[in-house]
């Protein structure tokens, strides 16, 4: 075998698994890691794949080992480490070589790097990878932002290593520069909303219905056979059924209720706001993680306000569970409608021409939010015509009509019982605002005009007007 087809820097969780995946799919790969001892450990662990792996202990060695033009994947933490790594790579690369950032970059950084590297004759690819450790090893969903020429050089490798949904590879060139990382960011934003809504439903089962983790695991496993079928519902069942090795108790009961975050949820919310798109379920999910981190404050607040005194969450368990299933489905529709609306707006703003049906398709396997639902969503976008919002797709109108009464009942009942529903209640409010032909912003406009002479439009004539409270009114 001659030179390596591709290189990879950063043999952490994602990098090492991607490298093994690439080797397993028949492509020779050269690898490097900042802490060079890790290169040796990785090589030893590669077993039968060793002949397709070239371990390198310097960047010069890495460059030498790859066939030009050299594609090199950087799989290190987003931000400064990526810039540092690129700066070091510049010394060993030649014009035409392709630097690929496979981490969770902020797309603004990707756009900057794309133009900076372009100026020095190198090519840059921003590549979002989803699916965690398992996906990286056996088939992730890959979202690429690149020039068609650069993509052509790596397409055979990315196609081979990607997840497959009924034979279709879950990888696509989505647009230039930051398009891939933007889509990955919104993927994660939707993932935040999906996970928060599942956690809210878990809260109702635990605190409203008094169900045990084992019972809840059974319900999620059952739901996974129906319209909610998805990786996140599947693993909800799995983790709820798991026991702690140390205590023998259900593991969820020993885990502290403080959720971590690395930034992609927050970036989704920021980009939605910047683009002027309402993404309330995603924003609520990010806020809920922030509040979750305030464990001590929450404990003190529970002391101050007490946790009792509110009406109990009552009702026949099977009836409530049916409502919970449909409520979660309705919330999911609203959250995905928001995420796709953000991508549609970004596509216009940055002239990316994002292929929304393709995005839904490459999320059907390999990634964390993979689900049956995404197939229906792809069909809705493929049906053609300018779809203002997923909520206006005929199939989704039908599904929302069927499920929103359950969401409404659950949000109302949990509000009375004091069970928090930040994402699901935001999803409901979004839906109610979206479908309200006559809203209440006329009052806001009147007030804005009153205190700031901002003017308003009338429903009986064109132009800008002022109210009777101003001199010009
Ligand atoms: P890990 O923490 O497992 O590994 C980090 C790797 O980056 C190590 O090889 C480390 O080298 C290297 N590194 C850290 N800092 C620097 C630096 N300043 N310069 C050079 N190398 C550095 O991270 P992950 O593999 O989990 O994540 C990598 C990227 O993939 C991140 O952007 C992450 O957000 C993204 N990602 C992660 C997913 C996951 O599920 N974990 C899923 C999808 C994307 P050393 O051994 O020397 O410390």
Residues of the chain with CATH 3.40.50.720: 6-177
Give the whole-angstrom CA distance, residue 126 versus residue 144.
6
**β-bridge pairing 123-130 and 141-145:** antiparallel
Q: What are phi and psi of 115, to 5 degrees?
A: -80, -35
**End-to-end CA distance of the chain, in Å?**
82
* Candidates 5, 28, 191, 271; catalytic one: 191
Give the whole-angstrom CA distance, residue 441 versus residue 8.
53
How many of the other CB atoms lie within 10 Å of CB of 348? 12
Q: Angle 394-417/317-349 helices, nearest 10 degrees?
A: 120
184 is an active site residue: yes
Residue 437 among known ligand-binding residues: no
As separate numbers, helices (DSSP H) first and strands (DSSP E) second, the chain gives 19, 12
Residues of the chain with CATH 1.20.5.320: 441-473
Architecture of domain 441-473: Up-down Bundle (1.20)
Residues of the chain with CATH 1.10.1040.10: 185-434
**CA-nearest residue, atom 13 of ligand 1:** 76
> 6-177: CATH homologous superfamily?
NAD(P)-binding Rossmann-like Domain (3.40.50.720)
Give the whole-angstrom CA distance, residue 198 versus residue 12.
29
191 is an active site residue: yes
Pocket test residue of 59, 75, 140, 191 for ligand 1, highest count of atoms within 8 A of CB: 75
Is residue 39 within 8 A of residue 59, CB to CB? The reply is no
**CA-nearest residue, atom 17 of ligand 1:** 81
3-state SS, 293-322, equals CCHHHHHHHHHHHCCCCCCCCCCCHHHHHH
**CA-nearest residue, atom 26 of ligand 1:** 13
Per-residue pLDDT tens digits of the chain, which is 473 residues long: 689 999 999 999 999 999 999 999 999 999 999 999 999 999 999 999 999 999 999 999 999 999 999 999 999 999 999 999 999 999 999 999 999 999 999 999 999 999 999 888 999 999 999 999 999 999 999 999 999 999 999 999 999 999 999 999 999 999 999 999 999 999 999 999 999 999 999 999 999 999 999 999 999 999 999 999 999 999 999 999 999 999 999 999 999 999 999 999 999 999 999 999 999 999 999 999 999 999 999 999 999 999 878 888 888 999 999 999 999 999 999 999 999 999 999 999 999 999 999 999 999 999 999 999 999 999 999 987 778 899 999 999 999 999 999 999 999 999 999 999 999 999 999 999 999 999 999 999 999 999 999 999 999 999 999 999 966 54
185-434 CATH fold: 1.10.1040
Cβ-in-10-Å burial (0-12, 13-18, 19+) of 215 comes to middle
Dihedral sign from CA coordinates of 171, 176, 180, 182? negative
């Amino acid at each position: 075998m001659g030179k390596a087809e591709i290189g990879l820097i950063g043999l952490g969780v994602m990098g090492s698994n991607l490298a093994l995946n690439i080797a397993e799919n028949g492509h020779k790969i050269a690898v490097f890691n900042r802490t060079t001892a890790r290169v040796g450990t990785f090589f030893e662990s590669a077993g039968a794949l060793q002949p397709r792996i070239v371990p390198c202990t310097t960047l010069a060695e890495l460059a030498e080992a790859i066939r030009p033009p050299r594609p090199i994947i950087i799989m290190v933490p987003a931000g400064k480490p990526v810039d540092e790594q690129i700066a070091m790579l510049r010394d060993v690369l030649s014009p035409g070589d392709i630097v690929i950032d496979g981490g969770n970059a902020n797309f603004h950084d990707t756009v900057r790097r794309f133009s900076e590297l372009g100026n020095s004759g190198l090519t840059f690819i921003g590549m979002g990878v989803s699916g965690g450790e398992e996906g990286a090893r056996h088939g992730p969903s890959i979202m690429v932002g690149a020039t068609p020429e650069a993509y052509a050089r790596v397409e055979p490798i990315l196609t081979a290593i990607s997840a497959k949904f009924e034979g279709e590879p879950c990888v696509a060139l989505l647009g230039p520069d930051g398009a891939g990382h933007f889509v990955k960011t919104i993927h994660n934003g939707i993932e935040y909303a999906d996970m928060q809504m599942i956690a809210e439903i878990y809260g109702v089962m635990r605190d409203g219905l008094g169900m045990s983790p084992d019972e809840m695991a059974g319900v999620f496993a059952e739901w996974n056979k129906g319209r909610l079928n998805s990786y996140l519902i599947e693993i909800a069942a799995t983790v709820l059924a798991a026991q702690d090795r140390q205590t023998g108790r259900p593991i969820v009961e020993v885990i502290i209720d403080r959720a971590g975050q690395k930034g992609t949820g927050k970036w989704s919310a920021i980009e939605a706001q910047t683009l002027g798109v309402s993404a309330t379920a995603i924003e609520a999910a990010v806020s809920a993680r922030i509040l979750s981190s305030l464990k001590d404050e929450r404990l003190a607040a529970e002391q101050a306000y007490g946790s009792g005194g509110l009406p109990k969450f009552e009702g026949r368990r099977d009836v409530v569970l049916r409502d919970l299933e449909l409520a979660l489905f309705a919330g999911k529709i609203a959250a995905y409608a928001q995420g796709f609306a953000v991508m549609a707006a970004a596509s216009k703003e940055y002239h990316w021409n994002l292929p929304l049906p393709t995005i839904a398709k490459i999320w059907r396997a390999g990634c964390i939010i993979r689900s049956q639902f995404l197939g229906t969503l792809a069909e809705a976008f493929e049906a053609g015509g300018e779809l203002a919002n997923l909520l206006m797709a005929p199939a989704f109108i039908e599904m929302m009509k069927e499920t929103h009464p359950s969401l409404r009942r659950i949000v109302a009942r949990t509000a009375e019982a004091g069970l928090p529903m930040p994402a699901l209640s935001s999803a409901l409010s979004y839906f109610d605002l979206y479908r309200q032909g006559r809203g209440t912003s006329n009052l806001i406009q009147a007030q804005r005009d009153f205190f700031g002479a901002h003017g308003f439009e009338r429903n009986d004539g064109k132009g800008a007007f002022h109210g009777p409270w101003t001199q010009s009114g």
